[in-house]
């Protein structure tokens, strides 16, 4: 590796949670993002203000202990990352009501039907604008010549236009970090790398669950636990 090569590393926190953290059955605070970043950078020089973590911000709701707990956990995560030199790029979370019709897709739907339940509503929080923030930082960083290579830890296809521009117009390199983590009980929910990124980037690296478990701070926390996503509530 060229130690003079200037690196920008961008981790899509929400995407990373669903692709890795949740599959490993841990919480975000149990994952060593600094050690993982050091592996990706591999001795190269991270440019100033070019080590970024993107995540929707949890907000406490009055009288809701669960939201208070999630906010506390996220504050701890952000504090740890900041101490490690990460710049935290926040995004607003928007509340959305989703309606699920009770039909054959639902386990024991016949019993629910007999109880007169035709549909249920759930509340979910969704990140807004994370892909735009990452794309903007890719473009501005390339235009201002802040990096030679951008390491993108995200499997969001919306980033492809920005990646194309920084590679073809600004002649910057882009490394794609993808993951391959199986879900034995629900194979359709296994994590797979985004194949589109293979043809759109200069370097591609794919990590398995065995690879990622090396970065768990407390391995015992993976036993019978499941990391909880603040966006799922």
Higher pLDDT, 120 or 196: 196
Q: Which residue do the tokens 């973590």 mark? A: 53
Question: Are residues 199 and 117 part of one domain?
Answer: no
Beta strand spans in the chain (E): 6-12, 45-56, 87-91, 93-101, 119-127, 149-153, 173-180, 203-208
Whole-model pTM above 0.85? no
Largest CA distance in the chain: 68
Examine residue 1 and state whether it is found in any structural domain, yes or no: no
Question: Are residues 147 and 46 part of one domain?
Answer: yes
- Over range 110-127, report the average pLDDT: 66
Q: Model confidence over 15-59: pLDDT tens digits?
A: 999 999 999 999 999 999 999 999 999 999 999 999 999 998 766
Question: Are residues 33 and 140 part of one domain?
Answer: yes
The total number of structural domains in the chain stands at 2
């Amino acid at each position: 590796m060229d130690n003079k090569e200037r690196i920008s590393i961008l981790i899509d926190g929400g995407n990373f949670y669903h692709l890795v953290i949740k599959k490993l059955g841990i919480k975000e605070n149990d994952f060593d993002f600094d050690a993982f970043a050091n592996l990706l950078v591999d001795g190269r020089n991270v440019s100033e203000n070019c080590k970024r973590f993107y995540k929707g911000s949890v907000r406490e709701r009055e009288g809701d202990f669960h939201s208070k707990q999630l906010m506390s956990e996220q504050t701890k995560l952000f504090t740890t990352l900041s101490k490690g030199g990460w710049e935290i790029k926040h995004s607003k979370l928007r509340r959305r009501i989703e309606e699920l019709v009770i039909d054959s897709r639902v386990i024991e739907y016949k019993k629910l039907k007999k109880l007169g339940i035709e549909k249920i509503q759930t509340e979910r929080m969704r990140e807004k604008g994370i892909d735009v923030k990452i794309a903007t930082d890719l473009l501005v960083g390339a235009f201002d010549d802040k990096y030679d290579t951008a390491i993108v830890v995200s499997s969001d296809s919306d980033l492809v236009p920005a990646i194309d521009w920084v590679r073809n117009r600004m002649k910057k390199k882009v490394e794609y970090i993808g993951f391959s983590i199986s879900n034995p009980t629900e194979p359709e929910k296994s994590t797979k790398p985004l194949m589109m990124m293979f043809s759109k980037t200069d370097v591609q690296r794919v990590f398995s669950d065995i690879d990622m478990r090396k970065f768990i701070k407390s391995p015992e926390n993976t036993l019978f636990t499941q990391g909880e996503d603040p966006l799922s509530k």
